[in-house]
């Protein structure tokens, strides 16, 4: 059994960090992006919308919705600046209405301890207090610092906050961030995840396996576990390791599909490595999130357009984070900029570029971000706004375009009329595999649920995972609607009208028709019970069913 994690005494690097943390806690809640969403929601509330409705109409860029404290902060600001007169009735409504969880799942983000990253990327900031690439005043990062990067404390405090805000906490997606996960020692990785499970389970376990088993029936169950790493760290051994940890989703920094640009930015990996990594992850059923960066050193607007198109040729990420390069003082790129070798795009250029790129995104992909939420004070030159999504969408609308990505089409909180739903099977080649994006769509083209069925082809890389021998894969099942208790029912809300079961049945049929003898689901440990109830059995780490 691995030794317990010792705290890095990171806090000693800061002189008297408490007051700074408290001030930061307040500031981070009211970021410009959040205030912008809150003001838009307030206008709707004033015009008669319910708080619930108004907030869900204005989601935050990175997912989630503004909380009531931000609504109150935005209201106060509007009153203080004289833009609005005081309206005690309005204040009472935004104060008293608890925010409910509008998406299916509550996300808990946890950061790993500061640790040197093998990468030397020129754009990547360095701060001794933080894991590589993170800034201490970034949302989420200060909470980690406050808890000395202890995984247990980070999860516990997040669960407390979610509960206080009235969000359900029975289905949790764990998101581990911080540098390159695979470069941490494996003992650290295992212990880190064990402690996260301990926090969810409410009792400590003696081994990760025991903790996973306990989580199958715990009050707070994991429905997803994501890590972020580099393409050159993905190989057969890593696949097996990630599965043993219970990982279901991998975020990879692809950044560019041009070897020259990768080299110029000292990424330390090639396009071929990204291609191989995505093929391996797909063959093992992982959900794939790629990070892509426009405006890297050596890039041009025209070149970025060409590069972006390559994303859909073989790589085909399930989710995408677009991180326009931001010029930061504590990154090597700053020196290139000083020498006149680097020019950040202006806000207008970026909005124009993103509007063009978004119009070309296939419906199977979810665009999670179009910019990183770094406080603008860190950005030296170039775009400083983090609320670009709205401008991008406005520009697209003015051109009669819209984004058809998953995020833009999710039904969110609305009730769904079962009879009106249409089943769709969007098939696309992804490298050596054939992907089926099975979905339920409303007459208004909103997405009520989807399933990712992956059919490995003859040239798909072998994974050496016994569960997967001769198997087709279910990489994701997602049904939208308000997050409900695992056992509870609410008529009309998309999550509990058996959409998942119906999607699964369709996937089984299609896999059988394509000649596969078994279906394997990369189920997070907290969802094993769900699949067991539908005829699946736990193999080594996947839920499998003979067809």
Q: Return the C-alpha torsion angle 438, 442, 448, 453, nearest 10.
A: 0
Query: Is-contact 60 389, C-beta < 8 A?
Result: no
Cα distance between residue 192 and residue 131, in whole Å: 15
User: Residue 355, interface with Zn ion (CB under 5 A)?
Assistant: no
Residue nearest to ligand SF4 (CB): 119
> Both tokens of residue 389?
């999504």
The single residue among 31, 103, 180, 222 that binds ligand SF4, judged by CB under 6 A, is 180
Three state DSSP letters for 172-204: EEEEEECCCHHHCCHHHHHHHHHHHHHHHHCCC
Q: What are phi and psi of 519, to 5 degrees?
A: -125, 135
Segment 126-155, which members bind ligand SF4 (CB under 6 A)? 132-133
User: Residue 482, interface with ligand SF4 (CB under 6 A)?
Assistant: no
Residue 117 binds which one of ligand SF4, Zn ion, none, with CB within 5 to 8 A depending on kind?
ligand SF4
Compose the 284-303 pattern: x for residues touching ligand SF4 by CB under 6 A, - for all others. Answer: --------------------
User: Residue 405, interface with Zn ion (CB under 5 A)?
Assistant: yes
Q: Which of 494, 496, 507, 513 is nearest to 437 (CA)?
A: 507
75-83, 243-251, 313-321, 396-404 -> range binding Zn ion (CB under 5 A) = 396-404
Q: What are phi and psi of 342, to 5 degrees?
A: -135, 135
* Residue (180 or 274) nearer to ligand SF4, CB: 180
* Residue (180 or 215) nearer to ligand SF4, CB: 180
C-beta of 291: minimal distance to ligand SF4 in Å? 9
C-beta of 124: minimal distance to ligand SF4 in Å? 3
Segment 58-117, which members bind ligand SF4 (CB under 6 A)? 117
Compose the 220-239 pattern: x for residues touching ligand SF4 by CB under 6 A, - for all others. Answer: ----------x---------
C-beta of 366: minimal distance to Zn ion in Å? 8
* Residue (135 or 354) nearer to ligand SF4, CB: 135
* Residue (331 or 406) nearer to ligand SF4, CB: 331
C-beta of 389: minimal distance to Zn ion in Å? 8
What are residue 430's DSSP bridge partners? 433
Residues touching Zn ion, count (CB under 5 A) = 5
Q: Mention every residue, 6+ apart, whose C-beta is less than 8 A from residue 406.
A: 319, 363, 364, 365, 366, 367, 447, 450
The single residue among 403, 520, 521, 543 that binds Zn ion, judged by CB under 5 A, is 403
> Both tokens of residue 213?
């088993």
* Residue (117 or 388) nearer to ligand SF4, CB: 117
Query: Backbone dihedral region of 515: left (phi > 0), alpha (psi from -120 to 50 degrees) or beta?
Result: left
Residue 527 binds which one of Zn ion, ligand SF4, none, with CB within 5 to 8 A depending on kind?
none
Segment 110-129, which members bind ligand SF4 (CB under 6 A)? 117, 119, 121, 124
* Residue (315 or 440) nearer to ligand SF4, CB: 315
**Token match 């580099």: residue?**
230
* Residue (226 or 473) nearer to ligand SF4, CB: 226
Residue 124 binds which one of ligand SF4, Zn ion, none, with CB within 5 to 8 A depending on kind?
ligand SF4
Cα distance between residue 266 and residue 211, in whole Å: 39
C-beta of 135: minimal distance to ligand SF4 in Å? 12
Q: What are phi and psi of 470, to 5 degrees?
A: 70, 20
C-beta of 109: minimal distance to ligand SF4 in Å? 16
User: Residue 324, interface with ligand SF4 (CB under 6 A)?
Assistant: no
532 alpha-carbon distance from chain centroid = 26
User: Residue 253, interface with ligand SF4 (CB under 6 A)?
Assistant: yes
Within 10 angstroms of residue 509's Cβ, the number of other Cβ atoms is 11
User: Residue 408, interface with Zn ion (CB under 5 A)?
Assistant: yes
C-beta of 94: minimal distance to ligand SF4 in Å? 39
> Both tokens of residue 271?
């396009």
Q: Return the C-alpha torsion angle 70, 384, 347, 345, nearest 10.
A: -150
Cα distance between residue 81 and residue 323, in whole Å: 33
Residues touching ligand SF4, count (CB under 6 A) = 10
Q: Which helix (H) or strand (E) holds 319?
A: strand 319-322
C-beta of 373: minimal distance to Zn ion in Å? 17
Half-sphere exposure of 386 (CA within 13 A, CB side): 23
* Residue (188 or 428) nearer to ligand SF4, CB: 188
C-beta of 526: minimal distance to Zn ion in Å? 28
Angle between helices 186-201 and 151-164 (to 10 degrees): 30
Three state DSSP letters for 208-229: HHHHHHHHCCCCCEEEEEEEEE
Q: Residues interacting with Zn ion, by CB under 5 A?
A: 367, 403, 405, 407-408
Which parts of this chain interact with ligand SF4 (CB under 6 A)?
117, 119, 121, 124, 132-133, 179-180, 230, 253
């Amino acid at each position: 059994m691995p030794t317990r994690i010792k705290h890095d005494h990171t806090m000693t690097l800061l002189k008297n960090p408490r007051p700074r943390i408290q001030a930061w806690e307040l500031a981070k809640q009211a970021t410009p992006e959040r205030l912008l969403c809150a003001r838009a929601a307030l206008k709707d509330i004033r015009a008669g919308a319910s708080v619930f409705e108004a907030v869900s109409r204005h989601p935050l860029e990175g997912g989630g919705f503004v909380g009531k404290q931000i609504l109150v902060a935005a209201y106060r600001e509007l009153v203080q600046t004289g833009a609005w007169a005081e309206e005690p009735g309005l204040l009472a409504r935004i104060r008293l209405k608890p925010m409910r969880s509008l998406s299916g799942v509550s996300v808990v983000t946890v950061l790993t301890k500061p640790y040197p990253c093998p990468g030397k990327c020129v754009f990547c900031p360095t701060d001794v207090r933080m894991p590589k690439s993170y800034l201490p005043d970034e949302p989420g990062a200060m909470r980690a610092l406050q808890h000395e990067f202890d995984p247990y404390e980070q999860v516990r405090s997040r669960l407390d906050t979610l509960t206080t805000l009235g969000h359900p906490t029975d289905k949790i997606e764990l998101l581990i961030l911080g540098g390159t996960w695979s470069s941490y020692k494996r003992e650290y990785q295992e212990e880190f995840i064990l402690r996260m499970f301990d926090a969810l389970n409410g009792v400590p376990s003696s081994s990760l396996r025991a903790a996973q088993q306990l989580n199958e029936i715990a009050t707070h169950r994991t429905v997803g576990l994501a890590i972020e790493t580099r393409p050159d760290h993905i190989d057969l051994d890593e696949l097996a390791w990630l599965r043993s940890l219970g990982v279901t989703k991998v975020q990879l920094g692809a950044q560019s599909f041009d070897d020259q640009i990768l080299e110029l930015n000292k990424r330390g990996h090639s396009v071929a490595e990204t291609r191989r990594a995505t093929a391996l992850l797909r063959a093992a059923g992982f959900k794939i999130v790629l990070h892509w960066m426009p405006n890297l050193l050596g890039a041009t607007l025209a070149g970025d357009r060409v590069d972006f198109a390559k994303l859909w040729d073989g790589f085909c990420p399930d989710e995408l984070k677009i991180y326009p390069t931001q010029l930061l003082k504590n990154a090597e790129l700053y020196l290139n900029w000083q020498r006149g070798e680097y020019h950040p795009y202006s806000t207008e250029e970026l909005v124009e570029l993103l509007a063009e790129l978004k119009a070309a995104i296939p419906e199977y992909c979810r665009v999670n971000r179009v910019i990183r939420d770094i406080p603008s004070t860190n950005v030296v030159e170039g775009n400083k706004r983090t609320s670009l999504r709205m401008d991008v969408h406005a520009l697209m609308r003015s051109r009669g375009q819209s984004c058809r990505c998953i995020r833009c089409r999710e039904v969110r909180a609305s009730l769904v009329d079962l009879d009106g739903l249409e089943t769709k099977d969007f098939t696309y080649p992804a490298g050596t595999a054939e992907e089926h994006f099975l979905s339920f769509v409303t007459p208004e083209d909103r997405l009520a649920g989807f399933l990712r069925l992956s059919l490995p082809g003859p040239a798909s890389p072998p994974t050496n995972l016994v569960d997967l021998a001769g198997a087709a894969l279910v990489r994701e099942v997602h049904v939208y609607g308000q997050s409900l208790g695992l056992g509870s029912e609410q008529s009309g809300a998309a999550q509990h009208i058996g959409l998942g079961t119906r999607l699964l049945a369709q996937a089984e049929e299609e896999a059988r028709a394509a000649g596969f003898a078994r279906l394997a689901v990369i189920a997070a440990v907290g969802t094993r019970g769900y699949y067991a109830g539908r005829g699946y059995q736990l193999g080594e780490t996947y839920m499998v069913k003979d067809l």
